[in-house]
């Protein structure tokens, strides 16, 4: 039994942090002329917006529960709210992992193949990739609503998530949720490791390259931070 102000405080800290991050990203994007960094900021903006909306949507259900302790069977007899919350947990949980892998792969090709035209991504294409990630995660989250697996209430009764039961439908849905997430984290680890090693090798080149590499080092520090957080927060659950 904990105070409802714990969940409220953490939700507010998360929302304010994401709003601050979004302001920084938007401010940085207006000052940029580098296409590589602008596409990276599009992915970063998509990640921040996704995280903000995830906190806002889930907190709008979970925080009121901690205050009033409503009975789910009475408030949601048709399980519509539970399905919505479960969908939100899957959608907003899968998106950051996929976007992290997308950002890592974009930086990997940008650093290791800087002169290839195919590695340069326009802002429109970057937003299209973000849209594809959202679309895939949305389709994944809708599978229980369409009949594959189901969402159920989880302890301590404040949230809904996928069901860990040995029947075929739930097992398949659990695998469809876990495997892309695990693959995304592993892909991020491999790409980020190679990119960091490459930057360490060329960082002490001539001054003209040094200025460009400073920007890439900054992006890699952000990516490594995202990867570490995703690994600590999600890998135990996914495994």
Per-residue pLDDT tens, the chain, 239 aa: give them.
668 888 899 999 999 999 999 998 888 777 665 555 678 888 999 999 999 999 999 999 999 998 988 888 888 888 899 999 999 999 999 999 999 999 999 888 887 776 554 556 778 888 999 999 999 999 999 999 998 999 999 988 889 999 988 899 999 999 999 999 999 999 999 998 888 888 877 766 654 455 555 667 777 888 888 889 888 988 998 99
Angle of CA points 29, 31, 33, to nearest 5°: 85
Max alpha carbon distance in the chain (Å)? 69
Distance from C-alpha of 98 to C-alpha of 55, rounded to nearest angstrom: 18
Which pLDDT score, from 0 to 100, does residue 87 have? 96
Distance from C-alpha of 221 to C-alpha of 160, rounded to nearest angstrom: 34
Which pLDDT score, from 0 to 100, does residue 16 have? 95
Please give the tally of structural domains in the chain. Answer: 1
CATH number for 68: 1.20.1070.10
Exposed, middle or buried by CB within 10 Å (0-12, 13-18, 19+), for 207?
Answer: exposed
Residues, the chain, total? Answer: 239
Contacts of 141 (CB under 8 A, 6+ apart): 86, 87, 88, 90, 91, 94
Which pLDDT score, from 0 to 100, does residue 208 have? 47
Parent domain of 60:
4-237
Which pLDDT score, from 0 to 100, does residue 204 have? 62
Does the pTM of the predicted model rise above 0.95? no
Which pLDDT score, from 0 to 100, does residue 216 have? 72
Distance from C-alpha of 130 to C-alpha of 133, rounded to nearest angstrom: 5
Which pLDDT score, from 0 to 100, does residue 39 have? 82
């Amino acid at each position: 039994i904990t105070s409802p102000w714990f969940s409220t405080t953490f939700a507010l800290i998360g929302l304010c942090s994401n709003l601050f991050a979004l302001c920084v990203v938007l401010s940085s994007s207006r000052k940029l002329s580098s296409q590589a960094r602008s596409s990276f900021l599009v992915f970063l903006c998509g990640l921040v917006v996704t995280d903000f909306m995830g906190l806002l949507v889930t907190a709008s259900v979970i925080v009121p529960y901690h205050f009033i302790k409503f009975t789910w069977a009475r408030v949601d007899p048709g399980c519509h709210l539970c399905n919505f919350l479960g969908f939100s947990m899957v959608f907003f949980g899968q998106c950051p992992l996929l976007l992290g892998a997308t950002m890592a792969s974009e930086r990997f090709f940008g650093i290791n193949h800087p002169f290839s035209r195919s590695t340069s991504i326009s802002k429109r294409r970057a937003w299209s990739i973000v849209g594809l990630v959202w679309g895939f995660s949305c389709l994944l989250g809708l599978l229980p609503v369409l009949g594959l697996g189901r969402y159920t209430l989880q302890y301590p009764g404040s949230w809904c998530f996928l069901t860990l039961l040995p029947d075929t439908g739930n097992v398949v849905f659990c695998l469809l949720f876990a495997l892309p997430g695990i693959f995304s984290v592993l892909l991020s680890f491999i790409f980020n490791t190679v990119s960091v090693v490459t930057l360490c090798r060329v960082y002490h080149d001539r001054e003209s390259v040094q200025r460009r590499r400073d920007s890439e080092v900054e992006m890699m520090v952000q990516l490594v931070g995202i990867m570490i957080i995703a690994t600590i927060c999600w890998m135990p659950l996914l495994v």
